[in-house]
Chains A and B, each alone.
Chain A
Amino acid sequence: MSYRYDIRLSGSGGQGLILMGIILAEAIGIYDGKYVAQTQSYGPEARGGSSKAEVVVSNAEIDYPKALKLDLLLAMNQKSCDDYYMDLKPEGILIVDSTFVKQLPTPRAYQIPFTRIAREKLKREMVANIVALGAISKLAPIVSSKAIEAAVLARVPKGTEKLNRDALKAGMTAAQKVKKISFPSAPAGFEDEDT
């Protein structure tokens, strides 16, 4: 039986969400060997405005390429959290950038200040997206840390590998520190999938 795992990464233009989507899709599709479809939606502005990237994962060919009901929602600002929370499955995972998301629609959310970590620990706010990717690899059962690291290093510009690896590690560490919220950890039949 085939399954679908629908991910939406959302926030405002300039936060690097589409790059995140590409890296996540590459990690899951190329390095973890599953079927993926990555789509995006953004406004005509270069910065600002709403932006989102979606990744659909399956063990079979994917028909509808956009996310249906979400298994994982990352909200990098308040507006995206408000707009898309309703699309989350009851057992879906919500991860928010607590630098910007102050009002939570549910207590069952992982709050990690990705942008603050990037700004204070790594001195570069622009790697907040990579910090978030690190956290996703620890909080969601959909991608391995190894695959995400390989995919990040393959996509980022030359000379920034150390910065990005540190960002990824910072995200993973932050995710390990947050209190685990108990969900059924994965869709049925997902974990014993041969990969």
Chain B
Amino acid sequence: MKKKVQKKELLLQGNEAVVEGALKAGCNFFAGYPITPATEISEILSVRLPQLDGTFIQMEDEIASLGAVIGASLAGAKAMTATSGPGFSLMQENLGFAVIAEVPCVIVDAMRGGPSTGLPTMPSQGDVMQARWGTHGDHPIIALCPSTIRECYDLTIKAFNYSEKFRIPVVLLIDEVVAHMREKITICEDEDVEIFNRVKPTVPPEWYIPFEDTPKGVPAMANFGDGYRYHVTGLTHDIKGFPTSRPDEIDPFIRRLFRKVSQNFADIQIGEFYQTDDADITIIAYGCVARSARRAAADGRERGLKVGVLKMNTIWPFMRAQVEKVLRTSKVVIVPEMNMGQMSREVKRVNKGDAKVFTINKVDGKIITPQEILSRIKEVY
């Protein structure tokens, strides 16, 4: 017999949908420091988490927030924090720690205008490269970017899944428009959503090798307090977790960190091709701008222009295969962004010359409009 599905139709804000997604994914720990435009996430979780026997802590700043999240995750919690640009800057040091110690966690960065305090209530997409290279050292990272309220919910679940599956911090990059926008979303209470939990060791504690290289590159992770004693450090470490300076241990370790992500591109890289098959002009966009792009494409088609859209939901690792595909088939590729060209530089980097790549860069605190994209198309095509 079919189970009765409980459906809830709600008008949710992007931040509220992130909360719903996080709770669905099993988030039971949040530490953060409120900041516009991510405050609603803290605000709502401060009510919801205690009701679900989870933990909410407002920390003294963002450095401590991510510190608490890392500690909680090492003890077995599914942990998250949420911030905006200024706080994300403070988190970079601990973000690197989470990468090297392979601690699963989710960091939401609701992008506002920057640099520094910048434009607290206005949107931008200025943190794209910060998500990639904000913390020092050569490292892999996963960053996801929703453009609808439904995607805020789905991608938050995915962010938790990736972080648990690959033992890596995952950044959810939302822009202010999507964070504060409200749309209707249907949530099924008992919907079967794939939830992934970290693999725990099956061997007795004395046989446990905490940073062992496996074919998947992801070692089993024991909770602190479960009797598996091991060392966690920000220093480059050997398979037992102790600092090493031996080149034959350092090299495989760093390469394993990268391999965890690079051998799973097919799983991690999510995007959507919209009418790109016959498109002469393809718009590559992400976040709220992807919505303007869809509108511009529809308007363009009405005027007889063959316009398509590649929407990126995965920002990092860069969706090279998908981008190369549209670069091969289109004559013109337009990359509209609310920054001075952080993603377009990547697109140009992989362009072999079949298409011409043009940018639209808007940094005035306003969303790029469909009209601006259309005007740019007319200018260059």
Contact = CB atoms under 8 A, between A and B. Distances in A.
B294 A30 contact: no
A41 B121 CA distance: 7
Name the residue in A22, A35, A40 with the highest tally of chain B Cβ atoms < 10 Å from its Cβ: A40
Interface in A14-71: 22, 25-26, 29-30, 35-44, 62-66, 68
B350 interface: no
B288 interface: yes
A25 B294 contact: no
Task: Kindly state the interface size class of chain A when it binds its partner.
Answer: 20 to 34
A59 to B, nearest CB: 13
A30 B182 contact: no
A156 to B, nearest CB: 15
A37 B148 CA distance: 10
Contacts of B267: none
Nearest to B178: A65
Contacts of B10: 30
Given A38-B183, A44-B121, A64 B294 contact: yes
B150 to A, nearest CB: 10
A44 to B, nearest CB: 5
B11 interface: yes
Q: Is the interface of B mostly helix, strand, loop or mixed?
A: mixed
A162 B338 CA distance: 45
Interface in B168-206: 177, 180-184
A63 B291 contact: yes
A124 B347 CA distance: 56
A36 B291 contact: no
Contact of A40 (B180, B184, B295): B180
Contacts of A66: 177, 367, 369
Contact of B184 (A36, A39, A44, A65): A36
B177 A26 contact: no
Contact of B181 (A26, A30, A39, A44): A39
Contact of A64 (B122, B183, B295): B295
B241 interface: no
A93 B1 CA distance: 52
Q: Is the interface of A mostly helix, strand, loop or mixed?
A: mixed
Contacts of A40: 180
B146 interface: no
B294 A65 contact: no
Nearest to B371: A68
B121 A35 contact: no
Interface in B64-89: none
B179 to A, nearest CB: 11
Contacts of A30: 9-11, 184
Interface string A130-173: 00000000000000000000000000000000000000000000
A26 B295 contact: no
B328 to A, nearest CB: 26
Contacts of A39: 177, 180-182
B276 interface: no
A38 B121 contact: no
A143 to B, nearest CB: 13
A64 B292 contact: yes
B217 interface: no
Interface string B222-240: 0000000000000000000
B370 interface: yes
B49 interface: no
B120 interface: yes
Contacts of B360: none
Nearest to A64: B295
Interface string B311-345: 00000000000000000000000000000000000
Contacts of B120: 44
Contact of B182 (A37, A42, A64): A37
A130 to B, nearest CB: 18
B254 interface: no
Contacts of B121: 41-44
24 contacts: A22-B11, A26-B11, A29-B11, A29-B184, A35-B184, A36-B11, A36-B184, A37-B181, A38-B11, A39-B180, A39-B182, A41-B121, A41-B122, A44-B36, A44-B120, A44-B121, A62-B183, A63-B291, A63-B294, A63-B295, A64-B295, A64-B370, A65-B183, A65-B291
**Which 8 A/B pairs are nearest by Cβ-Cβ distance?**
A64-B295, A63-B294, A38-B182, A63-B295, A29-B184, A26-B11, A39-B181, A44-B120
Interface of B: 9-11, 36, 120-122, 177, 180-184, 288, 291-292, 294-295, 298, 367, 369-370
Given A39-B182, A63-B370, A65-B177, 8 more contacts: A25-B182, A30-B184, A36-B183, A38-B182, A41-B121, A42-B121, A65-B291, A66-B369
